[in-house]
Structure 1
């Protein structure tokens, strides 16, 4: 199945201190842990044998993603561009709050990265329809292959859009840190 989008390599940032403690990050900053830096180095090894000469490297400007991109590509002399469209979904008033103190209703829609409902129901948050619109506009503007360094929920939405799936498919997609999601011609593969 052909895709209207170019070949993509989508990476989630490495583990952060707030990932470990169960705190909602959204647009706030939390530094990478040693494990998070090691996960970035794993992604670097995964991509070492991939010809990226025609690909643009584009990172979320949020520090955890940009730090991950620098760990992967900084020493190789690749130009790293940033784009605010790759930021994590805004979780409004829930940013900085502990997940354990938040209340969600209905099906939590569990993923390896946590319940999607935290992002869908966040008070004053961006929500999935707006995130999808942001991701569609970003992907629609890409002129060629790209490596995207982003965040857990934004990564899921980028992949849903690139695969022409409904938002509900976010819960069925693989997630995690330290891997690379490769999308080409409508196919999705996890590189480990």
Structure 2
């Protein structure tokens, strides 16, 4: 019987760089907008940070959306690898909230409690639904050796981390504990078969000029 390959004990989660949609602060749903010039600078900064970590056998996975693939490509080039785009990591679908301001997600949060009791967008996705597809996409990834780096989106990362950490969905949404600025990095380590956070939404790779313009948002 062949020896079982060790599964990863480190997992990195990254939000993509900035886009025009992020600047507008409006929910755009599945709009496949590219990184803007500033977002390209952010992507290079996080790529350089990963290159300095000397990770063991890094593997880069991204959402199928262009902004995530561009960010992942910068990281892959810095590490001498390639990206693998995965269906299931994409941003949460806002449904009837398409075109509404980011701010409404806090000022009108009561509208996100759906009739079935789940928390999410009317005629869009709930955070539980997003977490389920995100976990399904990562299942084969976490069966392979190496160090996965997963590039996704603000809402999908919140959904996944809320589920993984067993946090109350609405409370985590309101207090922003898993909110990621553009190219923010979260590191998880597996201890006794459970994932633990090492750092959450770190932007230490960005200099002071970038940091001042890099606030947690969405999409």
With normalisation by structure 2, the TM-score equals 0.70
Counterparts of 2:29 and 2:107 in 1: how far apart (Å)? Answer: 22
Paired residue secondary structure (2:47): helix
Q: Which ranges of structure 1 fall in alignment gaps of 5 or more residues?
A: 110-115
Counterpart check, 1:160 vs 2:162: yes
The CA RMSD measured in Å over matched residues stands at 2.9
2:13 is matched with 10
1:57 is matched with 60
> How far off its partner does 1:159 sit?
2.4
1:108 is matched with 109
Paired residue secondary structure (2:14): strand
* 23 and 105 in structure 1: CA distance in 2 versus 1, 3 angstrom threshold: closer
Counterparts of 2:121 and 2:164 in 1: how far apart (Å)? Answer: 25
For residues 89-100 of structure 1, the aligned pairs below 5 Å read: 89-95=92-98, 97-99=99-101
2:80 is matched with 77
> How far off its partner does 1:105 sit?
8.4
Specify the structure having the higher radius of gyration (Cα). 2
Counterparts of 1:158 and 1:54 in 2: how far apart (Å)? Answer: 24
Indicate the structure whose relative CO is greater, using CA pairs within 8 Å and at least 6 residues apart. Answer: 1
With normalisation by structure 1, the TM-score equals 0.78
Counterpart check, 1:128 vs 2:127: yes
- The number of equivalent residue pairs is 179
2:193 is matched with none
Paired residue secondary structure (1:10): strand
